Amino acid sequence: MLVDARWPPPEPEPDRPPLRWPRYRWPVLTVLFLVATEVAPPLIAYVCLILSLYGMVESFALLLPDGDGLGKHHQ
């Protein structure tokens, strides 16, 4: 028999849906890097531009369905 000995008992979890941080991470970082490209010195702006392009690719990857490639491909 298992007994929960914590006192006071833990609060129940809220019923709201959790924030899906991984889904919003890349679009937000892309916008931040594009803004930094405008206000930063040229060398740092170049790095921010490359990072924003990477963020665009990752954001586009979020739109694609989550598949396993050719794992279920049958001829």
Query: Does residue 59 belong to any structural domain of this protein?
Result: yes
Q: Tell me the whole-structure pTM to 2 decimals.
A: 0.63
Domain limits for position 28: 21-63
Query: Does residue 68 belong to any structural domain of this protein?
Result: no
Query: Does residue 44 belong to any structural domain of this protein?
Result: yes
Query: Does residue 47 belong to any structural domain of this protein?
Result: yes
User: In this structure, what DSSP letter does residue 69 have?
Assistant: T
Q: Tell me what pLDDT residue 54 has.
A: 96
Query: Does residue 33 belong to any structural domain of this protein?
Result: yes
d(Cα 53, Cα 29) in Å, to the nearest integer? Answer: 10
Query: Does residue 72 belong to any structural domain of this protein?
Result: no
Domains contained in the chain, number? 1
d(Cα 40, Cα 46) in Å, to the nearest integer? Answer: 9
Query: Does residue 39 belong to any structural domain of this protein?
Result: yes
More confident residue, 14 or 56: 56
Taking only the tens place, the pLDDT of each residue in 26-65 is 999 999 999 999 999 999 999 999 999 999 999 998 888 7
- Name which of 9, 58, 4 is nearest 30 in CA terms: 58
